Amino acid sequence: MTASIKQTLECPVAEGEGEHYSLRMGPQHPATHGVLRVDLELDGETIIECTPQVGYLHRGFEKLAENRTYSQALILTDRLDYIAAMANNVGYCLAVERLLAISVPRRAQYIRTIVCEMSRLASHLLWLATHALDIGAMTVFLYCFREREILLDLFEELCGARLTFSYPRIGGVRQDVTTAFVDELQRFLYIFPSKIAEYETLIDTNRIWLKRTVGVGVVSGEEALSLGLTGACLRASGVDYDLRKHQPYDAYDQVEFEVPLGSDGDIYARYRCRMEEMHQSVRIIQQCLDQLPPGPIIGPDAPDLLMPNKASARMEADSSRYGTGLIRLIRDRNCYLEGEIYVATEVPKGELGFYFISDGSSRPYRMHIRSPSFIHIGALAAIAKGEMVADLIANIGSLDVVLGESDR
Amino acid sequence: MHIIIILIEILALFALVMLHVAYATYFERKIIGHMQVRLGPMRVGWHGLLQPIADGIKSFFKEDIIPAGADRPTFVAAPIICLVAMLTSLAVLPFAKGWVLADIDIGLLFIFAMSSLASYGVVLAGWASNSKFSFLGGLRSMAQVISYEIAMGLSLVGVMLLSGSLNLSRIVEAQGDSILGMYLLPQCLGFFVFFISMLAETNRVPFDLPEAETELVSGYCTEYSGMRYAIFFMAEYIGMMVMASIGTICFLGGWNGPFAVPFFPPLWFVLKVYLFLFLFIWIRATLPRYRYDQLMDLGWKLLIPLALVNLVLTACLKAMIG
């Protein structure tokens, strides 16, 4: 006893140097958005060292894709960023189309642009909801879910699913839009800007919100580039980089929209950027609806697995050869082009890239996914260092990460 | 005989306050629910009216878990300290003229003492749980209570100066001849400081840092469950009511109203307390949460100087008039 007291007394404590301790935040924690674990080294409440740990939601999608035909691997992409599954589907389809040199009809391109932007709205709404909840503004959470519900209902009207859609197909989309869908969407577009204003009245000029977000989690443009940030996180730092504008795909070159840019690179700038993006999304969807051309929704050279258009005919032909329809799809041994390709799209979280190596079979030899969430989580260590625990939570929210996408 | 009457009074007050606590949670959930475009509790009873009772029964029969590494005696004592301190401060509150259990001359100081004592419960709970989240919650609570207790105390010194008493009943009576029969206008600065400190003192939004669920899971009560958690909960709500009562007594003229209600004298008092409770809930539905250091800044750099300014102004006023 005396020895330990003596030890304590003799232990030299340098001037201005506190005692550090470690805190493991997550994987089960209310504010880590799923199963992110952050190992913190704290001095009081100031973060000395922050080490994000990922992998709790790893399901091996990249490996699983190697055992599936290109058409079948589509459903895996639903489960990447499950908040905006439609955007992943489109990204995947675009990559495969580019690899296999398949054309997409114009109507399908417009429909894809619409659903992409709808999923951007759905994703940004969920981001705003949880981000505000993390900072303590509880009511915004439920307001956002009210509008997100309309979007999910619209998706259900479109393809029958609310979360994991698998709606876009390689070479087009699965079903055509109905008039009911178009009418409902139009109604939603009409009311939505006023709803954005409603969220903004609650937090935009709120002094506490400003105190928590302005000047916190600052990333300069250069830093953001070197950390590999994309999407709104990069644009909030003033770097003009939006794949929809600079490498247009689908119908993005046919519509007019602005790329909202921030300058400060703090949490508030990221917040403003995403809020502006929602306005732009509404603009894009409106233009797509107005311009929506008639015509087929799937290209003539699309690979098999088209439901329900070709399904019945396919089943008949296959059953005479193999017994059932699905077997035909799995045994699809068409020779595709050999080579490799990287195709990136602008999903709500940032730049989602699919990298394929094809050996000429019907399955990818290798599929790699460049997921924005994974890279953003990596940036967390640099951003959160030296700030407080409460800021870490705000930063995680503002980087808008989804663990399903990060861990794949 | 006198003792028996006092005991009955205590029991009646206790029962009433407990009923209020139960239904304060119900109204909080209902009001926030309607503010957030949902309905709140609807299942148990008509419009969920029996929900608080169901909650009470549920937490009473839940398994009582004490973590293996916890400091058992302290862990058990912490919620009790909170509840006892809060209940004790009820004794000196005058609900109407003569409707007070203990009409002592240092009522206001007594309330301060008790609310500081309650924060020991929170700090000890954080310490005894042997969990880092609880520990951080306890630390935050300690810092918060120390800084805001000062601001709150100073904000009420103005009231003491004007009324010339620490006895709560006499403070109410002294307000009779001021504007509107309350100190709200002459002490508007003091009321502002008091109101903000009151939110901080009761760990309510936007100062709910000790139990910030998105940061510290549940703060100091992370490791508590069942009845022990419910006791913390009760203590928080009684704390809200005590603070609302102090606000009513010191700034809103206590039981005095535009006209006297002969059959139920505490009517105005109760209504004013309900108004405060509604404000608590309204603020919770609206505002985000402060950060720890910003909370300290606000307390030390804004509220305490403001309270001091108010003190000086009040003293000058009193000297000039008196």
Q: How much is the pLDDT for A308?
A: 41
Put simply, whether A214 touches B (Cβ < 8 Å) is: no
For A109-129, what is the mean pLDDT?
91
Nearest by CB to B294, from A132, A206, A211: name it: A211
Domain boundaries, chain A: 61-101+103-302+337-407
Nearest residue of B to residue A141, measured between CA atoms: B36
In this predicted structure, the answer to whether residue B218 has a pLDDT above a threshold of 70 is: yes
Contact list, B293 vs chain A (CB under 8 Å): 388
User: What is the SS3 assignment for A351?
Assistant: strand
Is A110 a residue whose pLDDT tops 80? yes
**Total H helices, total E strands in chain B:** 12, 0
* B285 vs A contacts (CB less than 8 Å): 138-139
In angstroms, rounded to a whole number, what is the distance separating the alpha carbons of residues A371 and A354? 9
Q: Tell me if A203 and B288 make a contact (CB, 8 A cut-off).
A: yes
Residue A252 has pLDDT above 60, yes or no: yes
Q: Which of A86, A169, A98 is nearest to A342 (CA)?
A: A98
Between chains, do B292 and A23 touch, taking CB under 8 Å as contact? Answer: no
Q: Is the minimum CB–CB distance between A135 and chain B shorter than 8 Å?
A: yes
| 3-state secondary structure (DSSP) of residue B33 | helix
Which range, of A11-15, A242-246, A324-328, B90-94, averages the lowest pLDDT? A324-328
pLDDT tens readout for residues B184-198: 777 888 889 999 988
> Could you give phi then psi for residue A299, rounded to 5 degrees?
-75, 160
Q: pLDDT over 90 for what percent of chain B?
A: 2
**Residue A402: partners with Cβ closer than 8 Å, 6 or more residues away:** A33, A34, A80, A81, A82, A83, A349, A373
Q: Which residue, among A25, A33, A45, would best test binding to B if mutated, counting the most B CBs under 10 Å from its CB?
A: A45
Nearest to A142 among B37, B216, B286 (CB): B37
What is the CATH code for A61-101+103-302+337-407? Answer: 1.10.645.10
> What is the Cβ-side half-sphere exposure of residue A260, based on CA atoms within 13 angstroms?
19
Q: Per the omega criterion (within 30 degrees of 0), is the bond before B206 cis?
A: yes
| CA distance to partner chain A, nearest, from residue B131 (Å) | 10
B116-126 pLDDT tens trace: 888 888 888 88
Residue B215 is nearest to which of A137, A208, A389, comparing CB atoms?
Answer: A389
What mean pLDDT is predicted for residues B199-208? 82
Whole-angstrom distance, CA of residue A75 vs CA of residue A305: 12
For chain B, the domains span 1-61, 64-321
pLDDT at A124: 92
Q: What mean pLDDT is reported for chain B?
A: 85
**What is the percentage of chain A residues whose pLDDT exceeds 70?**
86
Q: Is A393 on the interface with B (CB under 8 A)?
A: yes
Which of A33-37, A264-268, B100-104, B132-136 ranks highest by mean pLDDT?
A264-268
Closest Cβ–Cβ partner in B36, B38, B289 for A136: B289
The reply to whether residue A208 touches residue B205, judged by beta carbons under 8 angstroms, is no
CB spacing of A133 vs B38 below 8 angstroms: no
Confidence (pLDDT) at A330: 43
Out of A30, A139, A203, name the one closest to residue B35 (CB): A139
Buried b (16+ CB within 10 A) or exposed e, B18-36: eebbbbbbbbbbbbbbebb
CB pairs under 8 A between A and B: 78
What was the pLDDT predicted at A199? 87
